[in-house]
């Protein structure tokens, strides 16, 4: 009976902010499948941005209501859905937290595309207002509620800058010698490469403040680029299918290459393709969220930070893998981004490994790479190849360099 009590009491009440998105939806299903009680909050801004940009998920995603009804049918489990704007509807957010009394709130609800954040003045201002406003509202609401809620936030590897510190990037904090000679362990310096990445750096400072001031318990996950589409939960019914973004603003690099490979058009590699990035499969994202949820910092402890990546790869090597698999050539195009042409990236991910994560890599023998190729083949009639090309430039010089060259 002790074991039963332990396993029952281990089930948590979770609110997933941004639970209709690419990472949030499969994470909500995974946690529900594991017996946790899940409530999704999402204002559907991502679906609205699709309409604004004139594109759509390659996969035909169902409405949130159809999704949760289908999940009830296949699993017998209930997921609540609430349409709340985390950055604007403070009172509704606070009321929901007081009503649900969650153990954990997972915060995915941000504008997450670096290109979209650099597209226009409107994109820059929206990204800052939405992301910082949302994070501040969440911290205020948790403090205001008086409840001891663990916040788990999705940050990005991009907060560190890529290869700027030299040597292995530690998990969030670095040892320094302060002027005067005192040794200290402080937040890794922030070195964002876009307005989007700047919001994640600012988020980290907000969490540090609310943690110190209100003893909020926070875990910040600095995630790499997510690839893949489906998970063991989303394949259970086509109405549960996850979104797959392939456009130049929201498509993550590997998914964009796979789309181009599937369409038989050249893989557009920015610059020399010498940028090294961290990658993680969507199934591992869902597992990492549960690990983070199960290992909260104690009250009074500083913000916990994990690096959430499975491996690092150079972009041109990723393109070469897709070229080999699909028989499509790659094409170097001027880089729309203001960034170093080449960088090394060495990242510690020891915390997740020691917590039991056994990461899927691009070369894992489990067919996940070919699963994405199958998705692309199945739905390629829905793809508009024009949308894959970059449509946002970091500054006027980058826009000029790309003019007529894509
Ligand atoms: P996504 O855009 O697919 O999902 C985000 C969801 O949040 C969307 O459904 C959107 O409608 C919702 N949302 C945004 N603002 C909101 C608001 N103010 N109120 C309520 N809902 C709101 O993005 P994703 O790829 O699932 O990313 C989720 C999180 O993970 C983001 O914070 C992102 O920065 C982070 N992340 C993603 C990746 C990646 O490769 N996809 C990599 C690193 C970090």
Q: Which of 21-30, 142-151, 227-236, 339-348 has the lowest mean pLDDT?
A: 339-348
pLDDT of residue 6: 42
pLDDT of residue 365: 77
pLDDT of residue 164: 64
Contact 402, 263 (CB under 8 A): no
ipTM value greater than 0.95: yes
pLDDT of residue 400: 93
Going by alpha carbons, the residue nearest to atom 22 of ligand 1 is 109
As a whole number, mean pLDDT of residues 165-194 equals: 93
Could you list the active site residues?
156, 196, 200
Domain boundaries, the chain: 11-402
CA distance linking residue 288 with residue 249, whole number of Å: 26
Q: Is 110 in the pocket of ligand 1 (CB under 6 A)?
A: yes
CATH says 11-402 is which class?
A: alpha beta
Query: For 198-252, what is each residue's pLDDT tens digit?
Result: 999 999 999 999 999 999 999 999 999 999 999 999 999 999 999 999 999 999 9
CA distance linking residue 245 with residue 267, whole number of Å: 16
Q: Residue 405 — pLDDT band, cuts 50, 70, 90?
A: confident
Q: Is 45 in the pocket of ligand 1 (CB under 6 A)?
A: yes
Q: Is 42 in the pocket of ligand 1 (CB under 6 A)?
A: yes
Q: Is 368 in the pocket of ligand 1 (CB under 6 A)?
A: no
pLDDT of residue 189: 93
Task: Note the helical H segments in 229-299.
Answer: 253-263, 282-294
Going by alpha carbons, the residue nearest to atom 41 of ligand 1 is 226
Query: For 64-109, what is each residue's pLDDT tens digit?
Result: 999 999 999 999 999 999 999 999 999 999 999 999 999 999 999 9
Q: Is 242 in the pocket of ligand 1 (CB under 6 A)?
A: no
257 pLDDT more than 50: yes
Q: How far is the CA of 352 from the centre of ligand 1 (A)?
A: 21
Q: Which residues of 26-136 form beta strands (DSSP E)?
A: 37-41, 79-82, 104-107
As a whole number, mean pLDDT of residues 153-166 equals: 85
**How many degrees, rounded to 5, is the angle at CA 124 between CA 121 and CA 126?**
105
Q: Which of 331, 399, 343, 317 is nearest to 115 (CA)?
A: 399
Alpha-carbon dihedral of residues 359, 364, 367, 372, nearest 10 degrees? 70
In ligand 1, the atom with minimum distance to the C-alpha of 243 is 3
On average, the pLDDT of the chain sits at 94
Going by alpha carbons, the residue nearest to atom 4 of ligand 1 is 21
Query: For 109-131, what is each residue's pLDDT tens digit?
Result: 999 999 999 999 999 999 999 99
């Amino acid at each position: 009976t002790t074991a039963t009590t332990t396993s029952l009491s281990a089930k948590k009440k979770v609110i997933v902010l941004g639970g209709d998105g690419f990472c949030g939806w499969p994470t909500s299903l995974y946690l529900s499948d594991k017996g946790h009680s899940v409530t999704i909050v999402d204002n559907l801004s991502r679906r609205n941005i699709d309409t604004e940009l004139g594109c759509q998920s390659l996969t035909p995603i169902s409405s949130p209501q159809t999704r949760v009804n289908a999940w009830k049918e296949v699993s017998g489990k209930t997921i609540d859905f609430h349409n709340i704007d985390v950055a604007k509807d403070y009172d509704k957010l606070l009321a929901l937290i007081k009503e649900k009394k969650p153990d954990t709130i997972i915060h995915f609800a941000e504008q997450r595309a670096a290109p979209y954040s650099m597209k226009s003045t409107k994109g820059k201002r929206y990204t800052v207002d939405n992301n910082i406003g949302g994070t501040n509202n969440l911290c205020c609401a948790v403090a205001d509620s008086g409840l001891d809620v663990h916040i788990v936030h999705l940050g990005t590897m991009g907060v560190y800058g890529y290869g700027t510190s030299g040597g292995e990037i530690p998990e969030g904090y670095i040892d320094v010698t302060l002027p005067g000679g005192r040794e200290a362990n402080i937040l890794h310096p922030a070195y964002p490469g876009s307005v989007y990445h700047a919001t994640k750096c600012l988020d980290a400072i907000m969490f540090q403040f609310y943690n110190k001031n209100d003893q909020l318990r926070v875990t910040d996950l600095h995630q790499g680029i997510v690839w893949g589409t489906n998970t063991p939960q989303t394949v259970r019914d086509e109405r549960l299918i996850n979104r797959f973004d392939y456009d130049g603003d929201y498509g993550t690099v590997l998914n964009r290459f796979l789309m181009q490979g599937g369409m038989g058009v050249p893989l557009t590699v920015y610059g020399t393709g010498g940028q090294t990035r961290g990658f993680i499969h969507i199934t591992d994202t869902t597992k990492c969220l549960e690990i983070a949820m199960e290992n909260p910092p104690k009250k009074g402890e500083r913000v916990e930070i994990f690096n959430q990546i499975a491996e690092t790869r150079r972009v041109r090597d990723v393109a070469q893998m897709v070229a080999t698999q699909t028989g499509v050539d790659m094409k170097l195009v001027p880089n729309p981004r203001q960034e170093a042409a080449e960088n090394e990236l060495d990242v510690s991910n020891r915390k997740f490994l020691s917590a039991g994560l056994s990461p899927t890599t691009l070369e894992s023998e489990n067919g996940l790479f070919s699963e994405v190729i199958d998705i692309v083949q199945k739905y390629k009639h829905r793809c508009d190849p024009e949308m894959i090309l970059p449509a946002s430039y970091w500054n006027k010089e980058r826009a000029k360099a790309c003019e007529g060259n894509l």
